[in-house]
Structure 1
Amino acid sequence: MQVTESQTDVMDPARARALQATLGMQATIDAGDPLPPFFHQIYFWQPEPPTQLGRDGHPRTGIGLIPDMGLPRRMWAGGRLEFHGPLRAGAMAEKRSVVESTAHKEGRTGPLAFVTLRHEIAQDGVIRVTEWQDLVYRHDPAPDAPAPVAPIAQTDEDISETWDFGTTRLFRYSALTFNGHRIHYDLDYATGVEGYQGLVTHGPLLAQLLMLVAERQLGSVQSFAFRATAPLMHDECATICWRNDGTLWVRGPDGRQCMAASAT
């Protein structure tokens, strides 16, 4: 039997304006306005006391909806969304979540565990957004383990934007999403424990930027799917790319592909 978790939250316009400012947009959202796609990420916080957190700053698995997968490193690997109608700022919303699937597999670097969550977000009893969130769990890297080889990004985009992130933008996005994952703000932890080359730019932040580009090009976003393919560090410049067939990607400064996506 699937366990369902339900939360309610008011889509506070002030919080949405804070995200607009964090993204370099004009802070214009007021009560009653439609929220841009994916802005629901800054709502439905699940605060836990320090005793309920894992070493990485996330709530420990096994105490809530996500089962204990037996592996310490968590990554948001990707997901897909269907937008059935706009969420409105200033109105109450309900989010219903369920674990849709779990699996263990053996990867090139050792055991992996996969969890897919399904979220349905409704206002006035009508589902506005359906989201599938893919999480991956793995062991810490061995000190002498070679870095994974990232795919090379395409260079045939029709439109591109250049973005810098830095520690302040990562901190503000972590705060707005109530994301305590230490890879985004604790440099010693990110490099010394999880083996990254710096602080990691949030995958959902990159997906958010891609969705905003898609919305500008399409007028509205009906569906969006994304997959993280390589981490982007806080001190790296990224190129956000759009092609007119609805394909999007994030290209790192060395040409690697950090995220691939598609939108309709």
Structure 2
Amino acid sequence: MDPARAAALHATLGRMGPPPAEGQALPPFWHHIHFWAPQPPEALGRDGHPRVGQGLIPELGLPQRMWAGGRLEFHHPLVLGTPAERISVLEAVSEKQGRSGRLGFVTLRHEFRQEGRLCLVEWQDLVYREPVQARRAGPPPPQAPRDEVTRIERAFDAVTLFRYSALTFNGHRIHYDADYCREVEGYPGLVVHGPLLAQMLIDLASREAGPLAAFRFRATAPLFAGERVAFCRAADGGLWARGPDGRLCMTAEAVTAA
């Protein structure tokens, strides 16, 4: 667990003060900058992700990938400077016909251990879709609540998205290739990483309520580079990310440690 990576993410997120050092706990959700599984160029798909059908994720004939959500259970902090391991399992695969076309759903479960102790369990929910030319128009995104008691606003530029992609070894071209976004995936601009939005909501929940025992999030609409987003927390602890036009980009729930 290299402290230099944590220092780089600390700077990328614009955090104040010194970064976490060797022997200290890794902040929640920062494990995404570790446990890389690099693939050579010939093992990548057109979108920059590892090609499906050669590892845990089967080939579904659906080329466009989205990280739709996830949940986490925090058992013990991961400690910087200490060896750690990740064990990954394909937990579920299903398909259905949605309003915009055929969809494939994949759930991965990851368990993270240090010195034989379970520290973290994460479930990742991925959605695979048809090419944009084959899809029908889906419903408009829902509108976000406006009854928050805490709100933090921020915009993410192309440099931040590039640095976050580099730190997480995420080659998905929707985060750094604007031409690919428009011409292939049908987005108007660079897409902000779903886990980056989740990171901001985890940080908000931790600051407001203290250490977390569990966290769950679901993406509902994309956010694009340069757009100002509001990260919100309600009086009952509910969390969401609201886009500049009021659209709901992500919802989340946090459970604090006893």
Shorter-chain TM-score tier: over 0.9
1:168 aligns with 2:156: no
Q: How does 1:1-264 map to 2 (within 5 A)?
A: 11-26=1-16, 27-142=18-133, 145-146=136-137, 148-264=139-255
Gaps of 5+ in 2: none
Structure 1, residues 185-236: CA drift from partner, whole Å, max 9, x if none?
0001011100011100000000001001111111101110000000000021
Between the aligned partners of 2:31 and 2:2, the Cα distance in structure 1 is: 10
* Deviation at residue 246 of structure 1 after TM alignment: 2.1
Given that residues 99 and 136 in structure 2 are in contact (C-alpha distance below 8 angstroms), is that contact kept between their aligned partners in structure 1? Answer: no
Between the aligned partners of 2:235 and 2:208, the Cα distance in structure 1 is: 8
* Deviation at residue 64 of structure 1 after TM alignment: 1.0
Question: If the length of structure 1 is used for normalisation, what is the TM-score?
Answer: 0.94
* Deviation at residue 144 of structure 1 after TM alignment: 9.0
Question: If the length of structure 2 is used for normalisation, what is the TM-score?
Answer: 0.96
Report SS of the residue matched to 1:176.
helix
Report SS of the residue matched to 1:204.
helix
Aligned amino acid, residue 15 of structure 1 = R
Report SS of the residue matched to 2:133.
coil
Gaps of 5+ in 1: 1-10
* Deviation at residue 146 of structure 1 after TM alignment: 3.7
* Deviation at residue 113 of structure 1 after TM alignment: 0.4
Report SS of the residue matched to 2:132.
coil
Between the aligned partners of 2:235 and 2:91, the Cα distance in structure 1 is: 33
Between the aligned partners of 2:217 and 2:134, the Cα distance in structure 1 is: 30
Report SS of the residue matched to 1:155.
coil
* Cα separation, partners in 2 of 1:244 and 1:180, compared to 1, 3 Å: same
Report SS of the residue matched to 2:202.
helix
* Deviation at residue 182 of structure 1 after TM alignment: 0.2
Between the aligned partners of 1:86 and 1:225, the Cα distance in structure 2 is: 18
* Deviation at residue 145 of structure 1 after TM alignment: 4.8
Structure 1, residues 125-161: CA drift from partner, whole Å, max 9, x if none?
0111001100000111238954640000000111010
Between the aligned partners of 1:145 and 1:123, the Cα distance in structure 2 is: 46
Between the aligned partners of 1:23 and 1:144, the Cα distance in structure 2 is: 35
Report SS of the residue matched to 1:99.
strand
Pairs aligned (count): 254
Structure 1, residues 80-101: CA drift from partner, whole Å, max 9, x if none?
0000111111111110010000
